[in-house]
Amino acid sequence: MSEENSIICNFKQYTSWLSTLEDMEEDLWSKPIAESKWSVSEIIAHIINWDNHLLAEVIPSVRNEKGMEFPDFDTYNKKASNYAKSGIPKEKLLEEAKETRELLVKELNELPIEKLNKPLTANGVSHCPHTGTPYSLIYIIKEFTDHDNHHKRQITQLLKGNNLNS
């Protein structure tokens, strides 16, 4: 398996992990995971929001070999939080999360490896300031996978703390 396929495969694993949340108690689903933190529903909505941004903005931009643009994080994340608090049922949010990620993975798998690896700017910056690595779509997908895993660990800790397995 190529490195690119491995990264996309790891990114896809989020969809099966989502199934572990289906039996979560409603009050645990919607209460903050810690003081001044989001609820599980807000975290899932947050990831959906970013997946939608990749689908609607980033992938078309990469196809056209243009730089990748990302909105202001705080404003964008607030939209996700509001969506989660809008009363959307847990089942509907989880289904939306799975469908969005599956569509995104399908789009990624259809892109040629050259497009996945093509160096492109992210908000006008050519290299990651933390690693010095040139930005490319596959690099961004790896960063998003790390981001997913951060949130998955938070949720897993919450479930363990409430004696629920994930």
Structure tokens at 79: 């939209």
- pLDDT at residue 123, as a whole number: 97
Q: Are 79 and 62 in contact (CB under 8 A)?
A: no
- What per-residue string of b and e applies to 122-136 under the rule 16 or more CB within 10 Å gives b? beeeeeeeeeeeebb
The structure's pTM equals: 0.94
- pLDDT at residue 166, as a whole number: 47
Task: Residue count of the chain, please give it.
Answer: 166
Tell me which residue of 29, 50, 159 sits closest to 59, measured CA to CA: 50
Helices 3-18 and 137-161 pack at an angle, to 10 degrees, of 30
Q: Are 110 and 137 in contact (CB under 8 A)?
A: no
Q: Are 68 and 124 in contact (CB under 8 A)?
A: no
- pLDDT at residue 63, as a whole number: 96
Fold of 3-161: Four Helix Bundle (Hemerythrin (Met), subunit A) (1.20.120)
Q: Where are the domains of the chain?
A: 3-161
Interior angle at CA 78, CA 72 and CA 84, nearest 5: 140
Helices 40-53 and 90-110 pack at an angle, to 10 degrees, of 30
- pLDDT at residue 1, as a whole number: 80
Tell me which residue of 55, 23, 16, 21 sits closest to 41, measured CA to CA: 21
The one-digit pLDDT tens for each residue of the chain (166 residues) are: 899 999 999 999 999 999 999 999 988 999 999 899 999 999 999 999 999 999 999 999 999 999 999 999 999 999 999 999 999 999 999 999 999 999 999 999 999 999 999 999 999 999 999 999 999 999 999 999 999 999 999 999 988 888 665 4
